[in-house]
Structure 1
Amino acid sequence: MALPDFPVAGPASTTLAGSLAVDGLRLRACGEHDLPFLRVLYRQTRDDELAATGWPEATRVAFADQQFGMQHMHFVHHFPDAHFFLLQRGGRDIGRYYLDVSGPAWHVVDIALLADVRGQGIGTALLQATRAIAPAVTLSVAVNNPAAMRLYTRLGFVDEGEAGGMHRRMRAS
C-alpha cells in the first residue's frame, strides 16, 4: 500500500528540533526514506502483544505492517500541521516523536523508542523539554500501558478522562 508523505517540514520544524534536542538526542524531520525504520519501530512496540496471539511469524509481520500503514495514514491525515521527528543518538535512529504545536496546548501525537533504548530517560527528557517551552501539553495514553501512565503522572500530567476507545487523555500545564 502506498503511504502518504509526511508534511513538508519548514524552518519552524528545524528550530523546534533544536529546542528539543536534549541528552545527546538529535531530532530531524521524517521523510519517506525513514518509513522502513519506522515500520521496524512500530513492530517493536507491538511485539509483546503480537507474541501473545500465537500467530505464525509471517502473519504477525503482515498484521504489523498493515497496522503501521493505517496508523501512519491516520497521523498524517488527522495531524497535518504536526512535526514528525525521527530521533537519533550517536548517529543511530532510535525512535520517533510526533508533536502538534498548532493549538493552544501542544499535543504529543506519538512517542516511540526502540526496545533497547527504553527506560533510559529519553522520553522523560523529551517531555520535560516540551513542557519547558509549550503553553500546555496534552497526550493520549493506551489504558493497557500502565508504565506510560505512571511516567506521565510522575511528570505532572493529569488524567482528563476517556480519549476514545482504549485511550485516556492527559494534560500538563
Structure 2
Amino acid sequence: MLSQRPGLRPVREADRAFLISLYRETRDDLAALALPPAALTQMLEMQFDAQTQSYERGFPGHHWDIILHRDTPVGQIRVLRGTDEFVAIDLSLLAASRGRGIGSHLLRNLQHEARTAGLPLKLSVEHRNTRARALYDRLGFVAVKDLGAHLAMCWPPTAGP
C-alpha cells in the first residue's frame, strides 16, 4: 500500500499554516461550531497553541516532526524517547493520506526503537477514533487505562510485531 516510505523532518516556524490546517482537519468538534469563519479560525489557532504549550510542558525534550510523503507534508508526529518509556504523544495525518500505511510504518519504526531500547511504547487514543484504535490493536498495543475521553495504550518491548 505504501509506495514510498515516509520521511521526517523537524517542525519549522514556516510549518505553522500547514500544522493549523492539519489541526483543523482533526478537530471536527471545533470545526462544527456555529461561528463566523474568522472567529472559528481564531478559536482553532488558540486551541492549537494551547495544545502545543501543553505538550511542551508535559513532555519536555520531545521531538516534533513533519511527516513527509514524496517530499510533501502529510502530517505531524510528536515522540518522547525517555529513559523509562517511549511515548507517541501525537500523530496526525491529512485525511487524504490516511489508510495508506504511513501511520503503520511510523509506529512500527517506533516499536523497533523501543524494543532496541528495551522500553515500552505508550500512546493514547480518543474513544471515538475507532480507526486509530483498530490500527493500534493490530500493532499489538493493549489498553491499560480509561482516561475519560481517551484510552491509554501500551506496547511492551517483548510484544509483537
Same fold (TM > 0.5)? yes
Shift of 1:51: 4.6
CA distance in 2, matches of 1:106, 1:78: 14
Aligned residues with identical type, % of pairs: 34
Counterpart selection for 1:145 from 123, 126, 129: 129
Counterpart selection for 2:21 from 37, 40, 52: 40
TM-score (norm: length of structure 2): 0.85
The one-letter amino acid paired with 1:31 is R
Aligned residue in 1 for 2:62: 82
Aligned residue in 2 for 1:162: 146
Aligned residue in 2 for 1:26: 7
Aligned residue in 2 for 1:70: 50
Deviations 1:60-108 (A, max 9, x none): 2222111101001111121111111111112211111110001322000
Aligned residue in 2 for 1:102: 82
The number of aligned residues is 150
CA distance in 2, matches of 1:108, 1:39: 20
CA contact (8 A) 2:4 2:70 kept: no
Question: Can you give the 5+ residue segments of structure 1 that lack an aligned partner in the other structure?
Answer: 1-21
TM-score (norm: length of structure 1): 0.79
| Runs of 4+ that moved beyond 6 A | none
Structure 1 residue 171 corresponds to structure 2 residue 154: yes
CA distance in 1, matches of 2:149, 2:111: 25
